[in-house]
Amino acid sequence: MKKNYPRALWWLTVATFLVPLIVLPSYFIFPFIVPKVLVFRTLVLCQLGVFLLWYFSKQTTVRISRTPISIAVLFFFASFTLSTFFGTDWYHSFWDNHERMLGLFTIAHYVLYYFIITTTFKEMDTWRRLLLYFVMAASVVLAIALWQKIQPNFLLNNNNGRTSATLGNAIYLGGYCVWLFFVSCYLAVTDTLVWRRWLLGCLAVLAILGIIASGTRGSVLGLVVGLVILFIVYFCILPKEKQRERRIIGVGGAVAVLGFLVLFAFRTTSLVAHIPAVGSLLNTNFIAGTASTRIMAWKIAWQATEDHPLFGWGPNNFVYAFNKYYNPRFLEHGWGETWFDNAHNIIMNTLTTQGFVGLLAYLSLFGATFWQLFRAFKKNHLSVHLVALSSGFLVAHLVQNIFVFENITSYLFFFFYLAFINSITHSTDKLATNETMFRSVFGGVTRVAIWVMVILSIWVTNISPARANMAMIDVFRTIYTQGDVVAAYNGVLAISSPHHDDNRMDMARLITQSASEYLRIGKKVEAQRLLNLAISELDKNRLLHPNDIRNHIQEAQLLQITFDVSKNPDYLFKAERLLEEAQVFSPARQQIQYVLSILKSMLGKHNEAIAILRKSVADSPTIPEGWWRLAYILQNAKKIEEAQNVVREARAQGILFIGVGENVVNEILPLPVSPTSTTGTKTK
């Protein structure tokens, strides 16, 4: 029986390596995220059950080691917990949303995962086999990513020239391939079988191709910096008697640097510029495009840190800080760049959401790992290859996260890596000395009680949320087919889930989009019923998340549609009140200004509408939409001359109107028609 517990933990750990492969598009909202998280949490709870049975069986002397890495992991978790409950929106920090699912509850599972596997597996041979299994699973993800370069639409890939494999985001794939590269290199240089060394070496090369296929500049930069650190560490720690190896590494490093300089020198050529990820990295313009908006987001992150410097705004609450300090210039880059739920920089994002304490805790994970690596190396416990390649990976992971963020897959391989390094470098110091007393108190806990606890936890925290998420798919289908939506949605509410706030917002968005179709085919009563349902559900969301203006804006749109159906002005007054509340949380956001100005104009409050738009134009004079909306509102207020003056001023400033804006301003003040020249035959 004693051998069965470690074996069960072994296979449950191997099963976690398959989590990145899980994609269920037809069954889940956010099918690349939700099923992965639910399965991972279920596997960890099963691990916990087996581990407790093993411990209380008195067949092992398992204890948690007091190591720098373990202390750093506990520090990270404690900081995350404090930031959750001291933050702006504890509920969102605790559960997060379906798109990320990285709230405190999920983070707790990663911490459990770390302690279970680092305590269970001690032998280097065991860890090598685990790493091989992990690499085998990752190679399937890589194969799918490379196949998407041939079949761009395979597995819901968005066919934008980048691949995401089974991870749903090219950024996630880039980071995953960075991990795969360094692990494959380590296994290749330390394996005893020649054929397997060649196979793993080829896999490392393919991992680089996977990074390029992902088109993720941060991953490319992380890989480059990680390789530089790899060469430096190798050169510094190789014994002096190994001159040949040192020369090879020195030459290799010099060639790599020279190659990078050559690519940079010819970065504007067609050949280099069209290399995926590499070309875009070398030609990055920090004052244009997404690079500039991210720098603006970093500035907001630093500015918002002053409000909550110690523990931050709370994990996953960056959007609240972003809204408060929103810069109107974001709209210069399109509406898609006006919403940031993450700073796209792990340093700045952590600083904003978890404060200086949280940032110190996150960086301590890296610092503690470096400390244990080099301390163990000095004691001759580790190979040169493991220290050098681990250093390269650590730096590469941190550097790429300066341009992206952690995700469910990166946390998986990162915490697994921490457990690996901790296990093979751990000290002999132990935390517990009263193990006999501890077991005597809890020794009567039966196997049945442990498994009842595990099964109930899995049902409540994973299976029920999964059922509710899947049931929302049926609600969507019912909306599209004009069925009994209320009955279908009540079925969702009957299922316990902490993510009903997400379900409410998803339903409200779809009803907003579908209401016009209901009205077009004459189903006015059904449309009104759906609109009332969505409005009442968003009222619940606003009570749960009073600072989340997305609920205010979405409900205001629904209220406008409801007014069009019922002609009851009370709906407009409520929409006006909601947007005025939202404006308190995001004073400079144009989306609120534009919609609120329309509402006030509809309510006859023309002067208030004009004042809102004049301020909007003053705050962001380069945005054409603000100008034409101001001119339009002035025209509706019968202030034709003022409207024409606004158009003249906009044109004088070089504002270019297209689409709806062009039609509006040309109606107010048509462009002068240039005289046409006639061509005749010159006679002598």
Is 43 contained in some domain?
A: no
At 559-581, the pLDDT tens digits run 999 999 999 999 999 999 999 99
Confidence at residue 255, expressed as pLDDT on a 0 to 100 scale:
74
What mean pLDDT value characterizes the chain?
Answer: 89
**CA 149 – CA 276 distance, rounded (Å):** 11
Q: Which of 425, 440, 461 is the last residue of a domain?
A: 425
Q: What is the pLDDT of residue 193?
A: 86
For residues 678 and 321, what is the distance between their CA atoms, to the nearest angstrom? 61
pLDDT of 431 above 80: no
Tally the domains of the chain: 2
Query: pLDDT of 384-409, one tens digit each?
Result: 999 999 999 999 999 999 988 899 99
Q: What CATH number does residue 661 fall under?
A: 1.25.40
Choice among 295-309, 436-450, 590-604 with the minimum mean pLDDT? 436-450
Least confident of 35-49, 179-193, 254-268, 652-666: 254-268
Q: Residue 339's domain spans which residues?
A: 63-425
The answer as to whether 543 is a domain residue is no
Asked whether residue 349 is domain-assigned, the answer is yes
Give the per-residue pLDDT at 679.
Answer: 46
- Candidates 417, 410, 305; CA nearest to 355 is 305
Q: Is residue 560 part of a domain?
A: no
- Residue 15 domain flag: no
For the residues 611-633, what does the mean pLDDT come to?
A: 94
Q: Is residue 192 assigned to a domain?
A: yes
In a domain, 150, yes or no: yes
Radius of gyration of the chain from Cα atoms? 29
Domain end among 425, 440, 468: 425
In a domain, 451, yes or no: no
196-202, long-range: CB < 8 A, 24+ apart? 200/135
The answer to pTM > 0.75 is yes
Please write down the HEC assignment for all residues of 536-584. Answer: HHHHHHHHHCCCCHHHHHHHHHHHHHHHHHHCCHHHHHHHHHHHHHHHH
Domain boundary among 405, 425, 445: 425
Query: Is the predicted pLDDT of residue 683 greater than 50, yes or no?
Result: no
Distances (CA, A) of 624 to 512, 613, 621, 628, 631: 26, 12, 8, 6, 11
